Chains A and B, each alone.
Chain A
Amino acid sequence: EIVLTQSPGTLSLSPGERATLSCRASQSVSSEYFAWYQQKPGQAPRLLIYGPSRRATGIPDRFSGSGSGTDFTLTISRLEPEDFAVYYCQHYGSSPYTFGQGTKLEI
C-alpha cells in the first residue's frame, strides 16, 4: 500500500499570500493518476487537480499542481477567503487508492 504523507499538517496564511502544500508518496506513483481535493466543513471533497497538473472543471487558475515520482505539490498563487479549507492528495494508479492525511489551510 502506498502511503501519502502531506506537509505541513496546518498552514497559517493570509488572503493574498501564496500557499504551497506538499504530498510525498512512500513509493513512486504514476503522475497521471494523482489528484488534489479541497474539503470545506460539512461538504464533500471537491476535485481540484488531477494528472497531476490539470485543473478540474471550474477550478480557478490560481490553483496549480506539479510533481512526479514521490513528490507532488499543490500551489495556490494568491489566496482568496474561500480557499481556507482542508486539502487532500490522492493516488489512483494502483489499488488501494490512498489519500493523504490532509493539510488544513487556515487564516
Chain B
Amino acid sequence: QVQLQESGPGLVKPSETLSLTCTVSGGSISNYYWSWIRQPPGKGLEWIGYVYYRGNPNYSPSLKTRVTMSVDTSKNQFSLKLTSVTAADTAVYYCARGGHGYDYWGQGTLVTVSS
C-alpha cells in the first residue's frame, strides 16, 4: 500500500521560505507525477503544482514566481519550496500522487505563517 507523509516546519516567519518534503513508501516514486495541494483553514483546495519523477515541474500561475518543486528518487521523496511567504500562505499542505486523479494523499501538514 502506497503511503505519503509530509514533513517540515509547522511555523514559518513572514518573508521566509516554506520547505516541505513528502516521503513515499510502499511504492516507487518513478513513473508518476507528484503534486502539492494546499487548503487554507475552512476553505477549499488549491492546486500548487506537480513534478514528474524525472523533473519537469509545472506550477500554478498564481504561485509560479515563488514555487520550486523537486524529486529525489534515491530517497523516494519530493519537495516543495515556497519563498516570501505571507499570512495568506497559511494552510494545510498535502502531497499527492497523480495518475488517474490523485489516488494517494498524505495526511496533510498545517503550516502557519506568523512572526
Contact = CB atoms under 8 A, between A and B. Distances in A.
Interface stretch (A11-19, A21-29, A93-101): A93-101
B84 interface: no
B61 A99 contact: no
A51 B103 CA distance: 13
A99 B44 CA distance: 8
Nearest to A34: B101
Given A97-B47, A102-B44, A35 B61 contact: no
Interface in B56-78: 58, 60-62
B8 interface: no
Interface of B: 35, 37, 44-47, 49-50, 58, 60-62, 94, 96, 98, 100-103, 105-108
Interface of A: 1, 35, 37, 39, 43-47, 49-51, 54, 56-57, 88, 90, 92, 95-102
30 contacts: A35-B101, A35-B102, A39-B45, A43-B107, A44-B107, A45-B45, A45-B105, A47-B101, A47-B102, A49-B101, A51-B100, A54-B100, A56-B101, A56-B103, A57-B103, A88-B44, A88-B45, A90-B45, A90-B102, A92-B101, A95-B58, A96-B49, A96-B60, A96-B61, A96-B62, A97-B35, A98-B47, A99-B47, A100-B44, A101-B44
